[in-house]
Structure 1
Amino acid sequence: MKKMKTTIALMLSASFLTLSGCSMMMDDEEVAEQTPVRPSMNVIDITAQDRAPAKRASNDEESEDQGMDAYGAIGQPPLYSSVQGAYKGRPLTKHIGDYVKNMTQDLIANMEYVNTKTAIGVTHFALLDTDLQQTDLLGRQMAESFVHELHKFRVPVIDFKATEYIRITDAGDFVLSRDYLELSSSLPIEYVLTGTMTKHQGGVLVNARILGMESRAVVASAQMLVPFYVVDALIPSDGSERSGMRDGVKLSRG
């Protein structure tokens, strides 16, 4: 009798375990059905070489000539010239005005006596290895740029080349002149900005200073090396005229 009870108990236990296992399997299937299926993700190790653009097998030399980079974007053209073709080279990111701006800041930093009530005149920069009565296109343009920069600092600048009238001609309408007979001989100029230029290895060394008209005292000074590629970017109006040239620079009286 005890053996039969034991056998029945074992059978009931086995049935309970079987039912429990089925219940657990059903619960797992229900959870699996409720959980959204996510797509598998493939992880790929991308090296720097894989990220770099593949170089085209053909037309590489042609792309380099057109100024294209490795991504196919068009960059700066290899040559840049004016209508006359006087200047050939890459386009510049800076011009002579940027260097004059830095020199003006140096002048303002160590300037004495000059203020918003003292008038300044600006002359052309002379070539240092001459009689100081000769200049070139660089010397003229630097004077024009200094007039602009000084005016930005609210320093009163007097343009002594301005006449008292406007001359109307077939070539155009002008108020500036280089004829001293047409200019005023009495102007309230107390200080003058001038300077010298000399060729240096890699560029032109420019020395700028502000002088007192009566005392001749130096009240401000600045110095900077302007690279040759910036100087050469200045194109003369008449590039065919070779008279008065020295070392490829057209000289003129100051």
Structure 2
Amino acid sequence: MITRYLMLGSLILATTACTTVEHDPTDRGTVSDAGSLDIVDVQAIDRHSAQQRPDDEADSFGAVGQPRLYSSVQGAYKGRPLTRHVGDYVKNLTQDLISNMEYVTSKTPVAVTNFALLDSDLQQTDLLGRQMSESFMHELHKFRIPVLDYKATDYIRVTGDGDFLLSRDYLDLNSSLPIEYVLTGTMAKHQGGVLVNARILGIESRAVVASAQTLIPFYVVDALIPSDGGASAGTKDGVKLSKG
């Protein structure tokens, strides 16, 4: 009799173990034995959540409702926060320039130009090239290197749009400034981002007295937003404008 009860108990335990192991293959996103979500399950949840939302909302937010970062390669947002910006990469470039810089001292004024597109005639730039020049002026000043802003005029222009000192009209600018060195550079699109080449040149000798190079990822570059929001001329916020 005892042997029969032991055999019956063993059979019940074996049946219970089999029931515990079995699971519905369509039940995705369950917690694994290690206590964490399986990667495949999380991706499936993300896809399912995106299908339940309108296209514009699905493209802008991840499965947990967090903003995604835009990628020029993928054309979609990546579910991770933006922890670095263009200024951080310019800071690293400046440190590299300072580490191998020659002749430039606290008594040799430096000008900073926009960075040119490498595959152009070197007379074209974009928002990234302009922002890098602004950031370089800040970083050089932190190192106590005298920086001359040649875009500054001799007067303040008061307009209905604001009060301005800077200008891009060469007729407004001083053509004779004590500039001895110039920080300039080029940009080239890379598969993973924008390859930046920076250098400091002697304005008269054209000799390179410092150089640096880095790769700025696309998700950092695309975080810069044009002031017009990318809208074409004659439009605002995607709405065509016309005179009444």
Relative to the length of structure 1, the TM-score reads 0.64
* 1:37-84 CA-partner distances (Å, limit 9, x unpaired): xxxxxxxxxxxx9994899xxxx877x8225xxxxxxxxx14479xxx
Q: CA separation of 1:225/1:242 partners in 2, compared to 1, >3 Å: closer, same or farther?
A: farther
Q: Who is 2:63 aligned against?
A: 65
The one-letter code sitting in structure 1 at the alignment partner of 2:152 is A
Q: CA separation of 1:51/1:235 partners in 2, compared to 1, >3 Å: closer, same or farther?
A: same
Structure 1: distance between partners of 2:208 and 2:139: 19
**Alignment gaps of 5+ in structure 2:** 1-31, 39-44, 50-61, 71-75, 235-244
Instruction: Describe how 1:126-137 pairs up with structure 2 within 5 A.
Output: 126-137=116-127
Secondary structure of the residue that 2:129 maps to in structure 1? helix
Structure 1: distance between partners of 2:111 and 2:181: 6
Question: Is 2:222 the counterpart of 1:240?
Answer: no
- Structure 1 residue 163: Cα displacement: 0.4
Structure 1: distance between partners of 2:35 and 2:227: 47
Out of 159, 172, 191, the residue aligned to residue 182 of structure 1 is 172
- Structure 1 residue 113: Cα displacement: 0.2
- Structure 1 residue 180: Cα displacement: 0.5
Q: Who is 1:8 aligned against?
A: none
Structure 1: distance between partners of 2:135 and 2:210: 17
Question: Is 2:94 the counterpart of 1:111?
Answer: no
Q: Which has more radius of gyration?
A: 1
* 1:183-224 CA-partner distances (Å, limit 9, x unpaired): 001101100000001111101110000000010000000000
The one-letter code sitting in structure 2 at the alignment partner of 1:130 is S
Secondary structure of the residue that 2:111 maps to in structure 1? strand
RMSD (CA atoms): 2.5
Matched residues, number = 176
Out of 172, 196, 207, the residue aligned to residue 217 of structure 1 is 207
Out of 163, 167, 178, the residue aligned to residue 157 of structure 2 is 167
CA contact (8 A) 1:127 1:198 kept: yes
Secondary structure of the residue that 2:177 maps to in structure 1? coil
CA contact (8 A) 2:69 2:82 kept: no
The one-letter code sitting in structure 1 at the alignment partner of 2:119 is D
* 1:85-112 CA-partner distances (Å, limit 9, x unpaired): xx96543100000000000000000000
The one-letter code sitting in structure 2 at the alignment partner of 1:216 is R
Relative to the length of structure 2, the TM-score reads 0.66
Q: CA separation of 1:116/1:66 partners in 2, compared to 1, >3 Å: closer, same or farther?
A: same
**Percent of pairs with identical residues:** 72
Structure 1: distance between partners of 2:178 and 2:191: 40
Structure 1: distance between partners of 2:121 and 2:155: 33
CA contact (8 A) 1:121 1:158 kept: yes
Out of 189, 195, 212, the residue aligned to residue 205 of structure 1 is 195
Q: Who is 1:41 aligned against?
A: none
Secondary structure of the residue that 1:135 maps to in structure 2? coil
- Structure 1 residue 153: Cα displacement: 0.5
CA contact (8 A) 2:119 2:188 kept: yes
Q: CA separation of 1:130/1:189 partners in 2, compared to 1, >3 Å: closer, same or farther?
A: same
